[in-house]
Amino acid sequence: MTTVTTGPPDPSTAAARLEASGVTVRFGGLVALEGVDITVPAGAMVGLVGPNGAGKSTLFAVLSGLLRPDAGRVRMGGEDVTRASAAARARRGLARTFQRPELFSGLTVREHVVLADRVRRRGGRILRDLVTGGGFRRPSAAEDGRVAAIIESLHLEELRDREVSGLSLGACRLVEVARALATGPDVLLLDEPASGLDGRETAELAATLTRVNAEHGVSLLLVEHDVELVLGMCETVNVLDFGTVLRTGPPEEIRSDPAVRAAYLGAEQPPGTAREAAPDTDPEKERR
Ligand SMILES: Nc1ncnc2c1ncn2[C@@H]1O[C@H](COP(=O)(O)OP(=O)(O)OP(=O)(O)O)[C@@H](O)[C@H]1O
């Protein structure tokens, strides 16, 4: 008799949703990353922290497909995507948010989610609408249902019909998460989602992301300056320092690790301290 197993995949045996192995990136003579390994299993919440200049943004760019590593591999679900573009990775189930939300100021919250849902389900139809004058067609009942469910799961109902240009930074971050979810991702990369938020907004964001992970089964990789947020949310935390992975482990181990403390003390920012996001001096960084 055949045994049928149900339930979520066992992360110890299933291929990781996203995995970097041996990733090295050099900028001229500067080694920004050297032999970095990081794994995001199915359904997991994984954190990536490290002092300023540790290599977090560089690794984010490698994982999202904006930067080719000099050595090493990136895999999604076991498949090599090292040479795949950001768009190709998105089609395979990778979504991301931006440190400075990248939204369309004239569209409402709901319209953002509708558009993302359409891109996922009927990509070509959107182009046809544009050339035939179809414009922003009224959502179908099925679209309405899917979009309403996502808006509800992020508790954005009250803001549903507001244009995003008038929303707070915290709300815009949630709209980005909602839009990302509408594309049906396996993995969501979050680029410093708490930067610029106050304590209350950060706590709300943490609760929302935890719920999104549980309800939608999407794996999260949180790249963040706010170490306390990451230690409070993620089951596995990776600490980068000078371009290498200093430690990978559960929050309680990371919190008490002398090497991690030393790395942060060297930067005068011990773990548990919400680090100020350094001003981004290079707006082109993401487009390298
Ligand atoms: N385009 C670039 N050209 C040259 N060096 C770069 C470039 N981008 C990053 N670097 C260098 O690579 C190293 C890692 O930078 P990266 O921005 O990835 O670190 P980070 O951990 O994200 O830092 P922060 O927390 O300050 O944002 C740093 O020494 C940085 O100066």
pLDDT along the chain (288 residues), means of 10: 45 77 96 97 96 94 96 96 94 89 86 84 58 60 84 91 90 91 92 90 92 92 93 96 96 93 68 42 40
Q: Both 59 and 201 in a single domain?
A: yes
Q: Both 180 and 191 in a single domain?
A: no
Q: Both 25 and 74 in a single domain?
A: yes
**Residue 168 sits in a domain of what CATH number?**
3.40.50.300
Residue 121 CA to ligand 1 centre (angstroms):
37
Quick check: is 5 in a domain?
no
Full domain range(s) for residue 206: 15-86+187-280
Q: Both 48 and 161 in a single domain?
A: no
Write 119-125 long-range contacts (CB < 8 A, 24+): 119/183, 120/182, 120/183, 120/184
Specify the pLDDT at position 145. 86
Q: Which atom of ligand 1 is nearest to the CA of 60?
A: 18
Quick one: 188 exposed, middle or buried, by C-beta within 10 A (0-12, 13-18, 19+)?
buried
Boundary residue ending a domain (155, 184, 213): 184
Structure tokens at 166: 């008038």
Helix (H) or strand (E) holding 178: helix 169-182
Cβ neighbour number for residue 227 with a 10 Å cutoff? 26
- Take atom 17 of ligand 1 and give the residue whose Cα is closest: 57
Q: Both 146 and 165 in a single domain?
A: yes
**Backbone φ and ψ of 74, nearest 5°:** -120, 135
Boundary residue ending a domain (184, 212, 238): 184
Q: Both 137 and 167 in a single domain?
A: yes
Quick check: is 8 in a domain?
no
Boundary residue ending a domain (156, 184, 212): 184
Picking from 57, 97, 91, the residue whose alpha carbon sits closest to that of residue 77 is 91
CA-CA-CA-CA torsion sign (173, 209, 40, 80) = negative
Quick check: is 235 in a domain?
yes
Quick check: is 163 in a domain?
yes
Residues in the chain: 288
Q: Both 77 and 220 in a single domain?
A: yes
The response to whether residue 275 sits with its C-beta less than 6 Å from ligand 1 reads: no
* Total domains present in the chain: 2
Q: Both 151 and 71 in a single domain?
A: no
The response to whether residue 52 sits with its C-beta less than 6 Å from ligand 1 reads: yes
Residue of 57, 68, 98, 222 to mutate, ligand 1, most atoms within 8 A of C-beta: 57
The response to whether residue 55 sits with its C-beta less than 6 Å from ligand 1 reads: yes
Q: Both 252 and 205 in a single domain?
A: yes
Q: Both 73 and 100 in a single domain?
A: no
Q: How many whole angstroms separate alpha carbon 46 and alpha carbon 237?
A: 6
pTM score: 0.82
The response to whether residue 32 sits with its C-beta less than 6 Å from ligand 1 reads: yes
Quick check: is 33 in a domain?
yes
DSSP string, 6-68: -SS--TTTSPPSEEEEEEEEEETTEEEEEEEEEEE-TT-EEEEE-STTSSHHHHHHHHHTSS-
The response to whether residue 270 sits with its C-beta less than 6 Å from ligand 1 reads: no
Q: Both 103 and 75 in a single domain?
A: no
Quick check: is 287 in a domain?
no
Specify the pLDDT at position 268. 47
Q: Both 40 and 125 in a single domain?
A: no
Quick check: is 286 in a domain?
no
Quick check: is 266 in a domain?
yes
Q: How many whole angstroms separate alpha carbon 264 and alpha carbon 43?
A: 29
Can you tell me the ipTM of this complex? 0.97
Cβ neighbour number for residue 267 with a 10 Å cutoff? 15
Specify the pLDDT at position 271. 55
